[in-house]
Structure 1
Amino acid sequence: MSSGFSQPTPKRSLLQQWRQRVSALPQPQAEESIVLRVLIQVLVTIGITSVAVAAAGVTQTSSFNLLAIPLSAVGAYWSWRRRRQKNIATKFCIAIGMLLALAFFFSRLLGSPGDTRIILAELLIHLQVLHSFDLPRRKDLGYSMIIGLILIGVAGTVSQTLAFGPLLLLFCLVALPVLALDYQSQLGLLRHGWHSFKAGVSLRQLWGLTFIVLALGLIIFALLPRLPGYQIRSFPISSTVEFDGEFNGNLIVNPGYVSQGEGTEGNGSSESGGDFSAGQTAASGPGELDDTYYYGFNQTMNQNLRGRLTPQVVMRVRSQAEGFWRVLAFDRYTGQGWEISRDDEAETLQRSSFAFQTYIPRLRSLARDREIIQTYTITATLPNLIPALYQPEELYFPTAEVAIDPEGSLRSPVSLEEGMTYTVVSEVPYRDRTLLGQAKTQYEDSYRQYYLQVPEPIRARVRQQTEALLARSPNPLNNPYEKALFLAQALKQNYSVQPELPFFEADEDLVEAFLFDYEGGYPDHFSTVLTVMLRSVGIPARLVAGFGPGEFNPFTGFYVVQNTDAYAMTEVYFPDYGWYAFDPIPGHPLIPPSIEDSQVFSALRRFWNWVAGWLPSPVAGWLNGVFATIGRLVARSLNLLSGLFRQGWVGLFLAIALLLSLGFVGWLSWRGWRSWRRQRWLQKLPLMESLYQQMVDWLTQQGYPKTVAQTPLEYVQSLGDRPDPQRAQIIQEISQAYVRWRYGQESQNEAYLSDRLKRLQKPQRPRQTQ
């Protein structure tokens, strides 16, 4: 006999409930295409490889990152084998691994607060390795595609050479079929086997699409405006370099010109003992140049050395404008070279405790200036001197201290080693010839003391020669700026480079020998002579040494600077405006490269200069003339518009009206050009084809366009009795005649059809109502 009570359902544990809910989850729809999976894995591999290649020699990175390539491949194979399973344990382990990767990322970020791009890329690589063990669906594969794209993007920002270029091209070649296969997979058209690749992607179309993408990319790259100013203040910089001991800002260490034992003034120092040897030359007297290091980067500059530098890339510079990467300046002429007289007055500057930023004291001036940001990557060991555009205002350098001497040159506690990266923000003054020509000629005592020094035995003779050269000017030279320009040009024209110049005797003065004995000298001797000649006529000047801009690479955006780009120039002081350089060396521009008022399309200009270097001179000259004419027309138009905009509301309306008129004229010209091309095309067609196309054109103008998918008879049927029964009959006659001619190869009465087409196109008079 039943009691009427049912047995109570036993309570299930939480674990059992969780398992039941997991088992009830819908099974993910797995991606079955082996080709798509393999190509996506190739994308990821290219992304990981590109980061390693781009970072080589640029920033610190671990070679263990390349282990991610086989590990992610193993993970991809694992996920393929288990693509139809839920893999709950695998997902749990991946989640733990991602938390560990995030912790490692933050520890690296806090421990090395420099350039974070590689640290972020390494985080993505770690996440990709973990993520590769669970790729059942197409959406999961899409995440891997995005990671590969981000990695190639990060590599592009880090890369400084063309070694990254082939990887970028390979990425594009793989990415295009991946996108095509991914789209086919979304539509359910992608098959399982390897044969789906040939069925889904045409190699001919793939190559054509790749060419179009690359061509458009290069065009966009060349035409993309380079607007002045960075939008962020997080600049590339190496990790902190620790310096043991007390920083002596007075010491310069040039590896090619050091004394062994205790460092001597002007030659740096070394910890090993010994005497001077080849390449380790005394501060004066005859000697040989070191073939690697420029002799002018030192406390003293001995210009009685002979020899040549072996070309070697020493740094790569990314800058908003090209310029002279200034390193060091000298104020005291010694008769056969230069020295820094106030070297013991270098001031030590401390870096901010919150950032890598060091503020640089600079000479204030009335000149209009512009902020220029430069990032330097050292590729070969350099002295402990910091190249920068004049005048630096902020320095982002990997040491806690730097020094600045009275000549405005920056010094580091350590040598600049390969792989070091730092950034400089400079306030570069514009060179206004009119304002500088109006500068005062009354100089402060400190400038007269240090920058008018000329050895007494040569003063009178050098001044006489200087005044003789100035007297050759066809126009009177009444200010220091014009005198400096004319003297620099006169040295270029009247004296020559002497590659076989003999050593100077102990009592022989360089400037006297240059002007009166050899009528020339080494390239840097020209700058020494100009400096001393200006001083002899009361114009303050000093010698400055640094690197020329180097060779601009339009594809990487970097200036590639070699040791052979180092040379010396003359800097002239103008009260209230500061120092400006003049270059008297033959073959160099008289005015060194500097900022311009507008460099929005500087990449296009530099790219063209690179291309023009490969063209024959007549062709390049003709094209330069064409581009210059176009540029002048555009500049005049922009000046006219800007002038109208500055005239208030009336000018604003006039400018708008002018722009609308130009737009209307351009639209009419475009319509006329298209109509002319259409008429040329119709004239080349067979008469029957031309009649039919003219009819279609007329109907399109009337508002009855023909779609590409419609056949001629389907088009006639869609029109019906439109636009009116009489015209509909003519349309039907021409269409049927065209079909019989085109597909039946039957001849037609073309004269009759031409007459019918004229009737069709003849405008109808409106009927008069009674």
Structure 2
Amino acid sequence: MEESLLLRLSVQVLVIIGILATDIAAQTSNAFWAVPLSLLGGAWSWRMRRRPNIGAKFLIAMGMILALVLFIGQLARFAQDSRMLLTELLIQLQVLHSFDLPRRKDLGYSMVIGLILIGVAATLSQTMLFGVFLLLFLAVALPVLVLDYRSRLGLITQSIQSLGVSRKQIRQVGRQWIITLALVVGLGMVVFAVLPRLPGYQIRNLPVSANIDVQGQFNQANVTNPGYVSGQGAGPGGDGVNGELGEVRFSPDFYYGFGSEINQNLRGSLTPKEILRVRSQAPGFWRVMAFDQYTGQGWRMSRNEAAEILQRPAWSYRFVVPHQNPLGNTKEVIQTYTVVSEFSNLIPNLAQAQEVFFPTQEIAYDAEGGLRAPLTLPEGLTYSVISQVPIRDRTRLGQASTTYSKAIRAAYLQVPTAIAPQLQAQAEALLAKAETPRTNPYEQVLFLTQALKQGYSIQPELPPLQPGEDLATTFLAAQGGYPDHFSTVLTLMVRSLGIPARLVTGLGTGEFNPFTGLYIVKNTDAYALTEVFFPGQGWFTFDPIPGHELYPASIEVDQTFTVLQQFWNWVAGWLPSPVTGAFASVFAFLDQAWRWFLGLFSEGIGGVLQGSLVVLGVVVLAWLLWLSGRGLVYRQRLAKLPPMERLYQEVLDWLAMQGFPKRPSQTPWEYLATLESQPTPPRVQLTLQAALREITRAYLAWRYGQQMANLPKLYRTWRQVKRRNLRQWR
């Protein structure tokens, strides 16, 4: 029976923190009933701890069986993410368990449940608020472990007063608790920073919201963007212009580029607002939709009506997405998206989605590779996507064929005849500036992308286009325009050279939060890119917008040590350039060495053997360095001692290495008597005992009588003893 009231209360607090953390992370309300009942159960079990409680135990067992039956029924009825169902089952069992806690091991079960709940909250949490609960959990867990250990030793404590300690001792314990908590948190942060970020989601039961029943027939051609408030939508407010696509007003909360037809003559700016939280194995451009037909001041999807409806089985949320074009080298990347604020009915994803886990019975897949849902994506919606992301191999792309199918040529080479000669001439003029001729499409597109970045500028004050004016020619004449205008001009220039291209809109990677592992994506991260087709390889994006990289981050970016890299970027901002340059050189060398080492294991048996020898050599070298460092620290510690104490400490350390350590409670003479009682070979017994007696006597005379001994003689005596073979003395 467990009599420690403090331990019981601390464990209850630990479990309550776990319940609250899962509630906040998953936006549930289990705490409203679980916390009061758990406290009631803890009070009742304490009051009834000395009684058999047979009836209560029977009711608790029946309740646990009922909770299991309900869990199995929910699991069979809903094919959603099972983590919350398991969490609810665990909370129900814990509440029932709290009514019967007579023994310490039962409290141990509750501690484990609290740990599991905080772990589940860590996987569900998408905000920094989880860090508060984690710190609270650690703060309570440390005294719980101490109280549990005292209970195992039989030191029963029912209250603070029964400890029999003074206020000064309580303050001392409090300081020790704060120091220990700080050390644990600090060590945890160091481990968190250097821990490799290896790809997750190795299973296919991916996070997805509960099933959504959509009323009415799904019109797969419908694209809904809440931002269009007049002309092509409904609702009040917004900024707009009257252009080729008619009068269009647009809300400052939504990006204009998500619609079956977009007007790039719009002006204004977006009010920053978080819209998505993304957990992904790799960063990327969260693609939303693409356009094939240029209208003069915008783009439209000419084959919007050809969108195909995809259906999933009733027992699974998995949709299989067909691929229209063969792909080259790809890498699987798994993503999970959580909608933070209302979004259009378009489904963001990394390029070349292969499987989609979505909570509606139907979704649509359009001719440009975009995905759309039968409803606007509501706040709180979660879905997952598995994409086969094309690998950007510059050599392979440079060698790609220039023979395009009839369908590709018909859809992605259209340029208005009035502006085609001017665009082609400008593209060829830019390519002529290259130091070496650009002979293949990939290198030509890459060079044009860079040329637009460097030769043209963003002009936020550019006046709206008048009816009949062309966006591309105006851009060239004004030497710039709005950010998305760069992508439009690049797309048309590429097309004028006979290379298939289209405009694609989506969301940038966003800001990575190293504590939650999520990419925080805002509406201001939305922009347009150019997608170019390479036969046998797929579609690849290019970003001509000044201030952006040539193409978005993708699977080529190593995420293994993301947190450590971000921490270094923060530190580097405070250091002088020469210092950061020196560190950058060191990091580059380490990176090359690491890649070389990993490459050995892909070279067959010989490479594996070389890699194994390298590992063995590094381990031996590290061991030698550790021994050398330990010896150096030991010598430095001895150097700070007085000469006589230094000699005596050397003797104690050497004897401890032989297996005869001195206990702190022993006096020097008691320790010597213990050594003399040990069986030793006759030929070393007299020499060793005489040397130890002489050194002990000299040490005590110095320590308590301030009498200096003949140190050189003592050192010579001790060295002679050590040089003999004393291993047999043991």
TM-score (norm 1): 0.87
- 2:176 maps to 205
CA distance, structure 2, for counterparts of residue 733 and residue 253 of structure 1: 95
Residues 286 and 305, structure 1, Cα contact 8 Å, conserved in 2: no
Deviation per CA, 1:281-311: give whole Å up to 9, x if none.
8772575542111100001111000111111
Residues 329 and 537, structure 2, Cα contact 8 Å, conserved in 1: no
Residues 437 and 482, structure 1, Cα contact 8 Å, conserved in 2: yes
Residues 258 and 280, structure 1, Cα contact 8 Å, conserved in 2: no
- 2:225 maps to 254
Q: Is residue 413 of structure 2 the alignment partner of residue 452 of structure 1? A: yes
Bigger Rg, which one = 1
* Match runs of 1:530-549 below 5 Å: 530-549=490-509
- Aligned partner of 1:466 among 418, 427, 437: 427
- 2:314 maps to 353
CA distance, structure 1, for counterparts of residue 510 and residue 26 of structure 2: 22
* Change in CA separation of 1:104 and 1:611 when aligned onto 2, cut-off 3 Å: farther
CA distance, structure 1, for counterparts of residue 608 and residue 516 of structure 2: 41
- Aligned partner of 2:358 among 393, 397, 422: 397
Task: After TM superposition, give the deviation of residue 134 of structure 1 in Å.
Answer: 2.0
CA distance, structure 2, for counterparts of residue 181 and residue 348 of structure 1: 61
The range that moved more, 487-496 or 690-699, is 690-699
* Match runs of 1:259-270 below 5 Å: 259=230, 267=232
Give 3-state SS (helix, strand or coil) of 1:570's partner: strand
Give 3-state SS (helix, strand or coil) of 1:482's partner: helix
Give 3-state SS (helix, strand or coil) of 1:212's partner: helix
Residues 240 and 267, structure 2, Cα contact 8 Å, conserved in 1: no
Give 3-state SS (helix, strand or coil) of 1:306's partner: coil
The range that moved more, 495-504 or 203-212, is 203-212
- Aligned partner of 2:595 among 632, 635, 642: 635
- Aligned partner of 1:691 among 632, 647, 653: 647
- 2:331 maps to 370
* Change in CA separation of 1:510 and 1:665 when aligned onto 2, cut-off 3 Å: same
Residues 240 and 248, structure 2, Cα contact 8 Å, conserved in 1: no
Deviation per CA, 1:702-731: give whole Å up to 9, x if none.
665555665433332233267431232112
- 1:235 maps to 206
One-letter identity of the residue aligned with 1:439: A
Residues 402 and 410, structure 1, Cα contact 8 Å, conserved in 2: yes
Task: After TM superposition, give the deviation of residue 145 of structure 1 in Å.
Answer: 1.6
Q: Is residue 607 of structure 2 the alignment partner of residue 677 of structure 1? A: no
Q: Is residue 604 of structure 2 the alignment partner of residue 646 of structure 1? A: yes
* Change in CA separation of 1:499 and 1:619 when aligned onto 2, cut-off 3 Å: farther
* Match runs of 1:677-756 below 5 Å: 677-699=633-655, 706=662, 710-720=666-676, 723-756=684-717
Task: After TM superposition, give the deviation of residue 331 of structure 1 in Å.
Answer: 0.6
Give 3-state SS (helix, strand or coil) of 2:257's partner: coil
- 1:580 maps to 540
* Match runs of 1:87-102 below 5 Å: 87-102=53-68
The range that moved more, 318-327 or 68-77, is 68-77
* Change in CA separation of 1:502 and 1:188 when aligned onto 2, cut-off 3 Å: same
- 1:68 maps to 34
One-letter identity of the residue aligned with 1:630: L
The range that moved more, 653-662 or 442-451, is 653-662
Give 3-state SS (helix, strand or coil) of 1:559's partner: strand
Identity in percent: 52
CA distance, structure 1, for counterparts of residue 14 and residue 611 of structure 2: 51
Unaligned runs of 5+ in 1: 1-28, 261-266, 766-770
CA distance, structure 1, for counterparts of residue 533 and residue 432 of structure 2: 22
Task: After TM superposition, give the deviation of residue 531 of structure 1 in Å.
Answer: 0.5
One-letter identity of the residue aligned with 1:547: L
CA distance, structure 2, for counterparts of residue 393 and residue 384 of structure 1: 19
Residues 312 and 562, structure 1, Cα contact 8 Å, conserved in 2: yes
* Change in CA separation of 1:636 and 1:86 when aligned onto 2, cut-off 3 Å: same
- Aligned partner of 1:45 among 16, 36, 42: 16
- 1:124 maps to 90
- Aligned partner of 2:403 among 428, 442, 452: 442
* Change in CA separation of 1:227 and 1:727 when aligned onto 2, cut-off 3 Å: same
The range that moved more, 505-514 or 617-626, is 617-626
- 2:7 maps to 36
Task: After TM superposition, give the deviation of residue 326 of structure 1 in Å.
Answer: 0.3
- 1:81 maps to 47
Task: After TM superposition, give the deviation of residue 221 of structure 1 in Å.
Answer: 2.9
The range that moved more, 468-477 or 213-222, is 213-222
The range that moved more, 165-174 or 672-681, is 672-681
* Change in CA separation of 1:654 and 1:127 when aligned onto 2, cut-off 3 Å: closer
* Change in CA separation of 1:434 and 1:464 when aligned onto 2, cut-off 3 Å: same
Task: After TM superposition, give the deviation of residue 223 of structure 1 in Å.
Answer: 3.4
Give 3-state SS (helix, strand or coil) of 2:269's partner: coil
* Change in CA separation of 1:294 and 1:598 when aligned onto 2, cut-off 3 Å: closer
Deviation per CA, 1:558-590: give whole Å up to 9, x if none.
101101011110000111111100001111111
Q: Is residue 619 of structure 2 the alignment partner of residue 663 of structure 1? A: yes
* Change in CA separation of 1:613 and 1:327 when aligned onto 2, cut-off 3 Å: farther
Residues 288 and 307, structure 1, Cα contact 8 Å, conserved in 2: no
CA distance, structure 1, for counterparts of residue 277 and residue 710 of structure 2: 75
The range that moved more, 71-80 or 332-341, is 71-80
- 1:519 maps to 479
* Change in CA separation of 1:655 and 1:109 when aligned onto 2, cut-off 3 Å: closer
Q: Is residue 188 of structure 2 the alignment partner of residue 217 of structure 1? A: yes
CA distance, structure 2, for counterparts of residue 122 and residue 654 of structure 1: 51
One-letter identity of the residue aligned with 1:572: V
Q: Is residue 287 of structure 2 the alignment partner of residue 331 of structure 1? A: no
The range that moved more, 82-91 or 224-233, is 224-233
* Change in CA separation of 1:329 and 1:729 when aligned onto 2, cut-off 3 Å: same
Residues 440 and 575, structure 1, Cα contact 8 Å, conserved in 2: yes
Q: Is residue 80 of structure 2 the alignment partner of residue 114 of structure 1? A: yes
Give 3-state SS (helix, strand or coil) of 1:724's partner: helix
Task: After TM superposition, give the deviation of residue 615 of structure 1 in Å.
Answer: 6.8
* Match runs of 1:266-281 below 5 Å: 267=232, 278=238
CA distance, structure 2, for counterparts of residue 278 and residue 288 of structure 1: 5
- 1:555 maps to 515
TM-score (norm 2): 0.92
Unaligned runs of 5+ in 2: none
Residues 276 and 337, structure 2, Cα contact 8 Å, conserved in 1: yes
